[in-house]
């Protein structure tokens, strides 16, 4: 068992193109977002397992000796390779008992605690005794906005627990500000993170935890995930309209529109697939020789896809407002994720002057939206030296 403090971070994600079409077997392009979730793991000898999640107001502590006495055989096959089957409803109920969570507890706070306990007990029970740890997780990502916050949480937990229990080596060398694990270790982190995501979402696609583990960009189609090897440095403005929506209801409404008008809606889905392919081709070209005309192509694809998504019925007045405000500043936006509110992305060209960006952010903020300037194609799960983290992150992890 390692005795040093571990600091890890993992990125969120946005869908560039392919949302909704992906449900019907088309391609989706997902990219890692440089808004990150940070975790600090501190080993203790106080006999307590403490979990602190300041973003959602969770502070829990368990007596390690009591957890040790719990029959955790129900976690089989919690083998060290993370190749377990999906947790059964019986396993989830037993875990709720152990966690002291009510049977009907399904709010984000309960699910976050459940995912933590599942990973802690599964990964750490290989130790002679369960370790006393103090774990704090803080995120730059808003929760429930379709930006992969739960996956970044699960990836951070898996990486930190596997490293602390020495199932994988600590990749950090002295003096390095940030380090990555080997491909083989990242595979193991990803498998366990997927198990954590299953505790939270039941039947996730695996896209969110994969992009958070590996970083960069990937394409997803019918369960197959492959990475896009080369990606240009692109800046975007991410806007959260803060309008709540139900992904389930929006997916169902697209399905019923497809059944009602198959000859109208199926070509829209085929066209969205072609947009994803064209975008991928353009990004790969830009990675080797970026030119201003590439940005024009990306902007046109954004506009066409946003119109298609409106035609599928997943737009919203708040997203129309976002598109109008950014268009007034000569920029192009589309929804990302489920639609019906939620988040949108705006491409920021490299020739854009900062005062223009600030004016646009001001206009969006006055609509009641939250905005972040960020990069896409960010690195995946990383381990950091304390000195490399900026003051805001340090203070958040210290609970200040």
The tens digit of pLDDT for each residue in 172-220 reads 877 788 899 999 999 999 999 999 999 888 888 889 999 999 999 999 9
- Under DSSP, the state recorded for 4 is S
Q: What is the pTM of this model?
A: 0.91
Closest Cα to residue 278, out of 310, 305, 254, 315?
A: 305
The string of pLDDT tens digits covering residues 265-287 is 999 999 999 999 999 999 999 99
Q: Is the pLDDT assigned to residue 79 strictly greater than 60?
A: no
- What residues act catalytically? 150, 208
52 forms bridges with which residues in the sheet? Answer: 59, 136
pLDDT band for position 78 (50/70/90)? very low
Residue 296 near residue 241, CB atoms below 8 Å: no
Question: Between the CA of residue 181 and those of 141, 212, 213, 367, what are the distances in Å?
Answer: 23, 13, 10, 42
Banded pLDDT at 366 (limits 50, 70, 90): very high
List all residues 6 or more positions away from 84 whose beta carbon is below 8 Å from its beta carbon: 75, 77, 78, 122, 195
The Cα–Cα gap between 271 and 288 comes to: 26
């Amino acid at each position: 068992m390692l005795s040093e403090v571990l600091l890890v971070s993992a990125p969120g994600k946005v869908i560039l193109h392919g949302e909704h079409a992906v449900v019907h077997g088309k391609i989706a392009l997902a990219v890692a977002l440089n808004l990150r979730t940070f975790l600090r793991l501190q080993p203790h000898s106080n006999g307590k397992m403490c979990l602190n999640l300041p973003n959602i107001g969770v502070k829990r502590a368990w007596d390690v000796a009591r957890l040790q006495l719990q029959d955790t055989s129900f976690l089989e096959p919690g083998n060290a390779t993370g190749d377990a089957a999906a947790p059964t409803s019986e396993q989830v109920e037993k875990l709720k008992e152990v966690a002291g969570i009510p049977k009907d507890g399904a709010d984000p706070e309960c699910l976050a605690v459940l995912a933590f306990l599942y990973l802690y007990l599964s990964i750490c029970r290989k130790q002679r005794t369960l370790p006393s740890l103090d774990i704090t997780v803080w995120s730059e990502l808003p929760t429930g906005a379709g930006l992969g916050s739960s996956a970044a949480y699960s990836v951070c937990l898996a990486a930190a627990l596997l490293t602390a229990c020495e199932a994988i080596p600590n990749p950090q060398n002295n003096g390095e500000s940030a380090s990555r694990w080997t491909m083989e270790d990242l595979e193991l982190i990803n498998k366990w993170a997927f198990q954590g995501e299953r505790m939270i979402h039941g039947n996730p696609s695996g896209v969110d935890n994969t992009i958070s583990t590996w970083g960069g960009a990937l394409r997803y189609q019918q369960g197959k995930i492959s990475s896009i090897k080369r990606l240009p440095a692109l800046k975007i403005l991410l806007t959260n309209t803060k309008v709540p929506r139900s992904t389930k209801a929006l997916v169902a409404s697209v399905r019923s529109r497809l059944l009602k008008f198959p000859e109208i809606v199926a070509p829209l889905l085929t066209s969205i697939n072609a947009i994803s392919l064209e975008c991928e081709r353009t990004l790969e070209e830009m990675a080797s020789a970026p030119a201003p005309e590439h940005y024009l192509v990306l902007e046109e694809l954004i506009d066409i896809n946003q119109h298609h998504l409106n035609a599928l019925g997943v737009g919203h007045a708040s997203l129309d407002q976002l598109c109008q405000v950014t268009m007034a500043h000569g920029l192009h936006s589309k929804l990302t994720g489920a639609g019906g509110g939620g988040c949108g992305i705006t491409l920021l060209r490299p020739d854009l002057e900062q005062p223009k960006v600030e004016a646009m952010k001001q206009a969006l903020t006055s609509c009641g939206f939250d905005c972040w300037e960020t990069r896409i194609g960010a690195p995946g799960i990383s381990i950091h030296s304390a000195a490399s983290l900026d003051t805001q992150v340090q203070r958040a992890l210290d609970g200040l």
